Structure 1
Amino acid sequence: MRRPVDADRVRAFMRALGLAARGEHTVYLVGGATAVLEGWRESTVDVDVAFSDRDDADELLRALPRIKDELELNVELASPADFVPVPGGWEERSPSIAREGSVSFLHYDLYSQALSKLERGHDRDLLDVDEMLTRGLVERDRLRELFAEIEPELYRFPAIDPPSFRRRVESALAQR
Structure 2
Amino acid sequence: MAGIAEETILTFLAEVGRRYPRPTDLLLLGGSALCLLGSPRPTLDIDYVGDDLAKTDLQLVIDQVAQETGLEVEAVPISGFVPLPEDSHKRNLRIGQFGAVQVFVLDPYAIALSKIDRGFDSDIEDVVFLIHRSFVQFEQLELQVQRAATRAGEFSLSPTEMVNHLQAVRDLL
Q: What is the identity percentage for the equivalent residue pairs of Structure 1 and Structure 2?
A: 23
Give, as a single letter, the amino acid of the residue that structure 2 aligns with 1:165: M
Q: Cα distance, 1:83 vs. partner?
A: 2.1
2:164 to 162, 167, 172: 167
Q: Cα distance, 1:49 vs. partner?
A: 0.7
Q: Cα distance, 1:42 vs. partner?
A: 5.0
* Structure 1 residues without counterparts, runs of 5 or longer: none
Secondary structure of 1:92's match?
helix
How big is the alpha-carbon RMSD for the aligned residues of Structure 1 and Structure 2? 2.1
CA deviation digits over 1:70-102, x for unaligned, max 9? 221000001542421111211101111101111
Secondary structure of 2:149's match?
helix
Give runs of ≥4 in structure 1 deviating > 3 Å.
Answer: none
CA deviation digits over 1:31-87, x for unaligned, max 9? 1111211222253110001149x97x7221221232012221000001542421111
Give, as a single letter, the amino acid of the residue that structure 2 aligns with 1:142: Q
Provide the residue aligned with 1:71 in structure 2: 69
Secondary structure of 1:91's match?
helix
Question: Is 1:26–1:51's contact at 8 Å kept on the other side of the alignment?
Answer: no
Give, as a single letter, the amino acid of the residue that structure 2 aligns with 1:130: V
Q: Cα distance, 1:130 vs. partner?
A: 0.8
**In structure 1, distance between residues paired with 2:68 and 2:7:** 15
Question: Is 2:50–2:76's contact at 8 Å kept on the other side of the alignment?
Answer: no
1:64-143 alignment, distance < 5 Å: 64-143=62-141
Secondary structure of 1:47's match?
strand
**In structure 2, distance between residues paired with 1:44 and 1:91:** 24
Provide the residue aligned with 1:59 in structure 2: 57
Question: Is 1:29–1:48's contact at 8 Å kept on the other side of the alignment?
Answer: yes
1:138-157 alignment, distance < 5 Å: 138-157=136-155
**In structure 2, distance between residues paired with 1:41 and 1:82:** 28
Q: Cα distance, 1:20 vs. partner?
A: 1.8
Q: TM-score, normalising length from structure 2? A: 0.89
**In structure 1, distance between residues paired with 2:41 and 2:101:** 25
Secondary structure of 2:87's match?
coil
> CA distance change for structure 1 residues 117 and 79 in 2, over 3 Å: closer, same or farther?
farther
Q: Cα distance, 1:128 vs. partner?
A: 0.5
**In structure 1, distance between residues paired with 2:121 and 2:102:** 31
**In structure 1, distance between residues paired with 2:2 and 2:84:** 31
**In structure 1, distance between residues paired with 2:22 and 2:50:** 13
Of 37-46 and 14-23, more deviation after overlay is shown by: 37-46
Q: Cα distance, 1:3 vs. partner?
A: 4.4
Question: Is 1:94–1:109's contact at 8 Å kept on the other side of the alignment?
Answer: yes
